[in-house]
């Protein structure tokens, strides 16, 4: 198992749509293990395959640390393969979001409070999960990565302008980041 470098927001791979995973292979299982190692090493609660340069519809998540005082269900570490959000509630909620590919940048994003997600677990068993709160937030954020969307895309032009100096520091490799990254644009696989 390995800790992999995370690509930053300006990498073209984060703007491309990930491909479905067709079969369970030892390489896919190793990738999932490496993604968990990378996520935990970076103090993240979610990590999508495109964030490590792999255009595959896989993400890992563990939002349990975000659930304060034990309120709400805990699901433990999860790998979601080929996830599809099949329901979004009309009720929306504003929450602060950050991203391992955009270190040190946080902003308020409005998303549905409750969702239903269908996916394959790491054993390739079909699963369906109705979820709300932090877990719903993390799943929507990571699913966006599989579709080539960043949380910055939800912000107003004014808010993005306010963040531009921080984004430039990340792109130029001048930001202090406590985990391995790929700070410049790279070729995608």
Q: Where are the domains of the chain?
A: 6-182
Q: Which of 91, 142, 169, 176 is catalytic?
A: 142
**Other C-beta atoms within 10 Å of 118: how many?**
15
Torsion of CA 147, 31, 51, 38, to 10 degrees: 140
What tens digit of pLDDT does each residue of 28-87 get?
999 999 999 999 999 999 999 999 999 999 999 998 777 766 566 777 899 999 999 999
Q: Is 92 a catalytic residue?
A: no
Q: Predicted confidence band at 161 (pLDDT cuts at 50, 70, 90)?
A: very high
Q: Which residues contact 22 (CB under 8 A, 6 or more apart)?
A: none
CA distance 22 to 131: 26
Residue 126, classed as helix, strand or coil, is strand
8 Å CB contact between 6 and 100: yes
Per residue in 132-159, pLDDT (tens digit) is 988 999 999 999 999 999 999 999 999 9
DSSP code of residue 15:
G
pLDDT of residue 183: 62
How many separate helices (H) and strands (E) can be counted in the chain?
Answer: 3, 9
Looking at 3.90.45.10, 3.20.20.450, 2.60.40.10, 3.40.1390.10, the CATH number of the domain 6-182 comes to 3.90.45.10
Span 162-168, average pLDDT = 92
Integer Cα distance of 103 and 97 in angstroms: 11
Please give the structure tokens belonging to residue 49: 């395959």
Indicate the DSSP class of residue 19.
B
In the prediction, which pLDDT does 187 show? 47
Interval 62-77: pLDDT, tens: 987 777 665 667 778 9
Pairing mode of beta strands 114-120, 6-7: unpaired
Determine the pLDDT at residue 182: 83
């Amino acid at each position: 198992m390995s800790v992999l470098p995370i690509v930053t927001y300006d990498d073209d791979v984060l703007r491309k749509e990930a491909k479905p995973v067709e079969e369970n292979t030892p390489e896919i299982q190793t990738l999932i293990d490496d993604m968990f190692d990378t996520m935990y090493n970076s103090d993240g609660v979610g990590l999508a395959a495109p964030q490590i340069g792999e255009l595959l519809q896989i993400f890992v998540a563990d939002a349990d640390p975000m659930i304060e005082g034990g309120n709400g269900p805990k699901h433990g570490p999860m790998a979601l393969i080929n996830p599809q959000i099949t329901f979004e509630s009309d009720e929306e909620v504003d929450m602060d979001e950050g991203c391992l590919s955009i270190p040190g940048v946080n902003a308020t994003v409005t998303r549905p409070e409750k969702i239903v997600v269908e996916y394959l677990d790491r054993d390739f068993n079909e699963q369906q999960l109705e979820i709300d709160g932090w877990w719903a937030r993390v799943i929507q954020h990571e699913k966006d990565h599989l579709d080539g969307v960043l949380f910055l895309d939800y912000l107003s032009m004014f808010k993005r302008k306010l963040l531009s100096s921080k984004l430039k520091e990340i792109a130029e490799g001048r930001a202090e980041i406590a985990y391995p990254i790929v700070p410049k644009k790279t070729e995608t696989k």
